[in-house]
Amino acid sequence: MGKFEINKDNSGELRFNLKAANGQVILSSEGYTTKAACDNGIESVRKNSQDDAKFERKVAKNGKHHFNLKAGNGQVIGSSQMYADTSGMENGISSVATNAPDASVEDNS
């Protein structure tokens, strides 16, 4: 089972990572200034990860594949790591969709 881990970054902002059952980070959030906003971001990932159309698939200049998960308003709520190819990226998207809905939350902030 996956989990969301909330941490505070060097600038004092809260960020979360969604980790798969194996501990690998599969989605990283933007920075949030309040705990409530961070919690809302997690709920947004839970909801929007179930709609494949909310995943924006991208290719970086170096040819690596990655994705963003967007909310209904088009704002990016999480980004993936870089993948060597399309199939790796699609597996990452599938992992987010599988893990996010029931993931526990660990607050390390």
**76-80, long-range: CB within 8 Å, 24+ apart, which pairs?**
76/30, 77/29, 77/30, 77/41, 77/44, 77/45, 77/48, 78/18, 78/27, 78/28, 78/29, 78/30, 78/41, 78/45, 79/27, 79/28, 79/30, 80/26, 80/27, 80/28
Q: pLDDT (tens digit, 9 = 90+) per residue, 58-88?
A: 999 999 999 999 999 999 999 999 999 999 9
pLDDT above 90: residue 32: yes
Distances (CA, A) of 75 to 27, 39, 44, 88, 102: 15, 16, 11, 24, 23
The class level of CATH for 3-107 reads mainly beta
Contact residues for 15 (Cβ-Cβ < 8 A; gap 6+)? 6, 7, 8, 9, 28, 29, 30, 31, 32, 38
Q: pLDDT at position 88, please?
A: 96
**pTM for this predicted structure:** 0.93
Over the stretch 39-52, which tens digit does the pLDDT of each residue have?
999 999 999 999 99
- What would the mean pLDDT of 21-33 be, rounded to a whole number? 95
> Residue ranges of the domains in the chain?
3-107
